[in-house]
Amino acid sequence: MHNEGPGIASDLFSVVRTGSIPGGNSRIIYTINHGDTWTGYIENEIQLSLITRPDIRLPPGANLQPTVIHIYLQPPFEKKLHIIGSVGARESVIHSFIIENDIDILNEQFQRYMNSVITSGFNDGEEIDIVEKILNL
């Protein structure tokens, strides 16, 4: 999260939800970053809903990372990767995001990853490129 506003942000919130996991061997795990800053709950390991404690405020230009999303992908891929979320603060615009990709891209990038692991290794920047393609960045 980034406070783009002219004033101090309070009542910051983050909601992230798994829409679909690509397959039975894949996992998506949400962890709370700076746990003493946030209150909230994880619902059935599918949705993480957080809001800052009342005494937490974010000055203009500052950042706060509420969640770390751990994505573990392992074939077979039977469904698309789909994660949705939103972040915001009291009296501010809500920012929504989607992380998704289809089965074909997941298979292609997993194969690319495995080929690099098995052969001589990754080319310069290849690991980042694989992640960006999987996350559709």
For the chain, the average pLDDT equals 94
Q: How far is residue 63's CA from residue 92's CA, in Å, rounded to a whole number? A: 15
Residue 69, pLDDT score = 95
pLDDT-derived band at 5, boundaries 50, 70, 90: confident
Q: How far is residue 83's CA from residue 125's CA, in Å, rounded to a whole number? A: 25
108-127 pLDDT tens trace? 999 999 999 998 788 899 99
Task: Give the three-class secondary structure for 103.
Answer: helix
Of 13, 101, 98, 2, the residue nearest 58 (C-alpha): 2
31-74 pLDDT tens trace? 998 889 999 999 888 999 999 999 999 999 999 999 999 999 99
